[in-house]
Amino acid sequence: MRMIDGDALMEKMKHRKEHVGRPSDPLCLVEDAPTIDAVKVRHGHWIPADIYHENVYVCSVCHADIAVPINFDYRPTYKYCPMCGAKQDEVTT
């Protein structure tokens, strides 16, 4: 499997609209479409680090201690770990 740039493919299709007529033309466009570099998203959650420091949390993926700003209901505001980039959206029990 390869990831393709859909925007670039759409541009090619717009410019070749009048030339498309054979069944193989759309396949050629997809085969020639430029690829993109994609990284698999890692998911984690914030773990409170210390009871005495309310805004220090540990990333469950890279285990880095991060001073994370908290919002009005005392939940971390960072949606991603600044150290490893893990999306902090796991639900903990």
Confidence of residue 87 (pLDDT cuts 50, 70, 90): very high
List of long-range contacts for 43-51, beta carbons under 8 Å, 24+ apart: 43/86, 43/87, 43/88, 43/89, 43/90, 44/81, 44/86, 44/87, 44/88, 44/90, 45/88, 45/89, 45/90, 45/91, 45/92, 46/76, 46/78, 46/88
Check whether 69 has a pLDDT greater than 80.
yes
Which pLDDT tens digit goes with each residue over 33-68? 788 887 788 999 998 887 666 788 899 999 999 888
Q: Is the pTM of this model over 0.85?
A: no
| Domain extent listing, the chain | 1-38, 43-88
* Average model confidence (pLDDT) across the chain: 80
Q: Which amino acid is at 45?
A: H
- What backbone phi and psi angles, to 5 degrees, belong to 19? -95, -15
